[in-house]
Amino acid sequence: MTTLSICIPSHAGLPAARASIDSALALLPYGEVEVVVSDNSGDEQKAAYYGALQREGFRYLRSSHQDAMHNWSHAVDNASGVLVMMLGDDDIVTALPGFAVPSAQSLAGLAGFRPAFAMFSEGQGVYRPTNFAVQGARATDRVQDYLVKNGGSNVTVYSAVRRDIWRSLFAGYLAHHPSRAGYTDWSLTFALVATAPLTQQGNLLYLYNNANWDSAEKIRSNTDRGMKSVGLPNEASQIQMALQAVDTFVAICRADLALPADEKLEAGLLATSVYFNSLVGALQKRFESNETPTPKLLQTAKIALSAQQPAEQLSACIVILEMWLPQLREPYQNFFDNVLDPAIAKAVGLAGG
C-alpha cells in the first residue's frame, strides 16, 4: 500500500531539477512512499535520464500540459497514495532522524500533515523555519490558527494532503477558473486549511527555494510576469489582492466541500477580509508615494473605503475586479455558477440568472 505520493510537476531542465527529484527519491527506502514526476519541460536529456531509471515506487511521466496547474493535476491523477505532497522542482525534501511515514489509520479526520518548512536562497541561506499543526473544530478556527502561525508564507500548500481533498480543490479551478494564474495557490492554501485539521510532521523537512521572491523588486517583476503569462495586463498586479480575495472565497465556499454552508461562509468571509485589508494597505502605500494616482486608482480607493463588513468587502473586490478587468466578468460569473455552494452564492448575491 502506498501512503505518501510525492508529486513533482516539473518544468525545469535536468541540471536545474535533478537535486529536487533526487531528494524525493531518497525517501523511497522509508516504505509506503512513491515519487511521481510529471515533466512538461520537453528536455530530452532529462527524459532519457529519468525515463531509464528503474526504481520501485518511481514513476516518470512526460506531460503535454503546459499550464502549471494542469501539470500539478496530472501528477496527482497518476499518484496512488492516500496522501499526495507537491514538491516544486527547485525545492528539496529531506527526512530528519525519527521520520516515519504515518499510517493511514492515524490520519482519520485530518486533511493530512504539514512537514517542517524553511526557505532558502543563495543570498540568505536557510531561514524562516516553521513547524506547526493547523487545528480547530470549525473552518473559521482553522483559518484563524493558520493566519496566526504561518508568518506570511503559503508554503503550507506543499503539505501532504489526502488525495481526495486535492482532487476536490483542483476540480473547480481547473474546469472553470478564469485565469489559473500562479497566485491562485494562495487560495488553495486557505481552502486546504479550512477543509480539516493538519497535523505536523517535524521530522520531514521541506526546503522552499525562495530565490525568485526574496526581494520587493523580484516580487513585483515576477508578479507582473505571472499576470502576462495568463493573458492579463501588468496593471492587474495592482489589484491582485482583490483577485485573491474573490478566489479564496470561492475555494472555501465551493459546493463539493462537505461542510455546513454557514461554516463555509464564515470562513470564506474571514479569508476575504484578510486579502481586502491587504488591498487597502497596498492602496495606502501607493497614495503615500510621490506617484500621482490615476483616476482608476482613485475610484478603486473610493470603492474600498466604502466597504466595512466582510460581505461588503467581498462585493467591493468584485466591483474592483470588473472595473480593472471587464473581460473577466462573464468568466467569473461562470466560475461562481459552477463552483460555489448555491446556497452561499444566493446569500452573497453571486448567483447567476
The domain spans of the chain are 4-213, 216-347
Q: What proportions of the chain, in percent to the nearest 5, are helix, strand and coil?
A: 55, 15, 30
Q: Are strands 4-10 and 83-86 parallel, antiparallel or unpaired?
A: parallel
Distance CA 296, CA 282 (A): 15
Q: Does residue 342 surpass a pLDDT of 80? A: yes
How far is it, in rounded angstroms, from Cα 4 to Cα 33? 5
Question: What percentage of the chain reaches a pLDDT higher than 90?
Answer: 76
Instruction: Return the SS3 of 93.
Output: strand
104 contacts: CB under 8 Å, gap ≥ 6: 1, 3, 82
What are 149-205's pLDDT values in tens digits?
Answer: 998 888 999 999 999 999 999 899 899 999 888 788 889 999 999 999 999 999 999
CATH number of 4-213, picked from 3.30.450.40, 2.40.160.20, 3.10.20.30, 3.90.550.10: 3.90.550.10
CA-CA distance, 138 to 252, in Å (whole number)? 12
CA 51 – CA 45 distance, rounded (Å): 10
pTM, rounded to two decimals: 0.93
pLDDT tens digits for 279-316?
Answer: 999 999 888 887 888 899 999 999 999 999 999 999 99
Give the CA radius of gyration of the chain.
20
Contacts of 327 (CB under 8 A, 6+ apart): none
Of 39-48, 100-109, 228-237, minimum mean pLDDT range: 228-237
By residue count, the chain amounts to 353
Beta strands in the chain (DSSP E): 4-10, 33-39, 58-62, 83-86, 92-95, 112-121, 125-130, 160-162, 198-209
Residue written as grid cell 491587504? 278
User: Please, which pLDDT band fits residue 143 given cuts at 50, 70 and 90?
Assistant: very high
Q: Are strands 83-86 and 160-162 parallel, antiparallel or unpaired?
A: antiparallel
Three-state secondary structure call for residue 320: helix
